[in-house]
């Protein structure tokens, strides 16, 4: 049955559900033009990007621009990343359905929702209480039940839930926090932007005591604040 609720409950965030929300056409075009046509080809990642209702994660005045090829403000001086960067970083993690993943920098909760489509459990940490609280509420109302949001300092990671199969950092530290490397499983992968004014996105793979890292792209993220930079 087609149910058009007055309060936005006509959105259909989950892969299993049928029907199209009014933004589906824009979302499919976003994936084709901005993501697949560039270089992200993992079908599960593309499917997740086609599924998550990005317009539910932006400020009300930005809803018309939710599927544009750029980052958008989410309040408190923070931004939701450009869709392509979300897809690229997600692909680097090579997530499997049984995986547990840690995100640093919940922001709007959008990246966490994309991860939630691909992994078993998502743990995400946000430094700013207002953003963390609203992301938690938003994710719950959209039915992303496998995401846990913690308000805190991501430099410490989430020791009581570690180890993780993958870690994704969506604010830029000056160097890779050792605690996050420690909380990866052997073979675990991390996508992380590093730097101050100029930043590079790294893909790291933990191999026993060693860690390999590969530069993927030049990026621009908000700085990671808290312990590590004090
Ligand atoms: N992934 C988010 C966008 C992240 S913006 C999304 O999909 O919307 C970066 C976020 O990192 C901001 O919300 C900022 O408050 C947060 N942040 C910055 N430093 C942090 C830290 N030390 N620990 C946790 N979160 C941090």
Which among 81, 108, 116, 134 is annotated as catalytic?
A: 81
Q: CA–CA separation, 91 vs 75, rounded Å?
A: 27
Q: CA–CA separation, 202 vs 13, rounded Å?
A: 30
Q: Is the pLDDT of residue 3 over 90?
A: no
In this prediction, residues 39-43 reach a mean pLDDT of 97
Mutation probe of ligand 1 site: the residue of 81, 115, 170, 192 with most atoms within 8 A of C-beta: 170
* Amino acid 21: pLDDT: 74
In this prediction, residues 81-102 reach a mean pLDDT of 98
Task: Report whether residue 59 contacts ligand 1, using a CB cutoff of 6 Å.
Answer: no
Long-range Cβ contacts of 70-74 (<8 Å, 24+ apart): 74/107, 74/108, 74/131
CATH fourth-level superfamily of 24-225: Vaccinia Virus protein VP39 (3.40.50.150)
What is the whole-number distance in angstroms between the Cα of residue 100 and the centre of ligand 1?
A: 19
| Nearest alpha carbon, ligand 1 atom 16 | 105
Mutation probe of ligand 1 site: the residue of 82, 87, 89, 106 with most atoms within 8 A of C-beta: 106
172, 195 Cβ separation under 8 angstroms: yes
**In a 10 Å sphere around its CB, with 0-12 CB exposed, 13-18 middle and 19+ buried, how is residue 74 labelled?**
buried
Q: Is the pLDDT of residue 74 over 50?
A: yes
Task: Report whether residue 128 contacts ligand 1, using a CB cutoff of 6 Å.
Answer: yes
Average pLDDT, the chain: 92
> 80 Cβ partners below 8 Å, 6+ apart?
54, 57, 58, 71, 72, 74, 107, 108, 110
For residue 181, the tally of other CB atoms under 10 A from its CB is 16
- pLDDT tens digits, one per residue of 95-115: 999 999 999 999 999 999 999
In this prediction, residues 168-183 reach a mean pLDDT of 98
CA angle, residues 169, 174, 179, in degrees to nearest 5 = 55
In this prediction, residues 170-176 reach a mean pLDDT of 98
What is the whole-number distance in angstroms between the Cα of residue 225 and the centre of ligand 1?
A: 9
- pLDDT tens digits, one per residue of 6-22: 344 444 444 444 445 78
* Amino acid 194: pLDDT: 98
228 falls in which pLDDT band (50, 70, 90)? Answer: low
CA angle, residues 218, 72, 95, in degrees to nearest 5 = 60
Q: CA–CA separation, 196 vs 69, rounded Å?
A: 23
- Would you kindly state where each structural domain of the chain is located, as residue ranges? 24-225
Task: Report whether residue 132 contacts ligand 1, using a CB cutoff of 6 Å.
Answer: no
* Amino acid 19: pLDDT: 46
């Amino acid at each position: 049955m087609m149910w058009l609720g007055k309060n936005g409950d006509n959105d259909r965030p989950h892969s299993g559900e049928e029907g199209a929300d009014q933004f589906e056409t824009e979302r499919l075009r976003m994936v084709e033009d901005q993501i697949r046509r560039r270089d992200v080809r993992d079908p599960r990642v593309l499917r997740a990007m086609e599924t998550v209702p990005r317009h539910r994660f932006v400020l009300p005045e930005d809803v018309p621009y939710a599927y544009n090829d750029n980052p958008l403000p989410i309040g408190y001086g923070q931004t939701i990343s450009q869709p392509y960067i979300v897809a690229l970083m997600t692909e680097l993690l090579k997530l499997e359905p049984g995986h547990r993943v840690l995100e640093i920098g919940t922001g709007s909760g959008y990246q966490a929702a994309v991860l939630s489509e691909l992994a078993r459990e998502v743990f995400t940490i946000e430094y700013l209480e207002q953003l963390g609280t609203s992301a938690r509420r938003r994710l719950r109302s959209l039915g992303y039940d496998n995401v846990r949001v913690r308000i805190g300092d991501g430099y410490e990671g989430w020791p009581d839930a570690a180890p993780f199969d993958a870690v994704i950092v969506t604010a830029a530290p000056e160097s890779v926090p050792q605690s996050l490397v420690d909380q990866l499983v052997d073979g675990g992968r991390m996508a992380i932007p590093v730097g101050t004014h100029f930043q590079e996105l790294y893909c790291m793979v933990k191999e026993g005591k060693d860690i390999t890292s590969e530069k993927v792209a030049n990026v621009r993220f908000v700085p990671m604040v808290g312990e590590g930079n004090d």
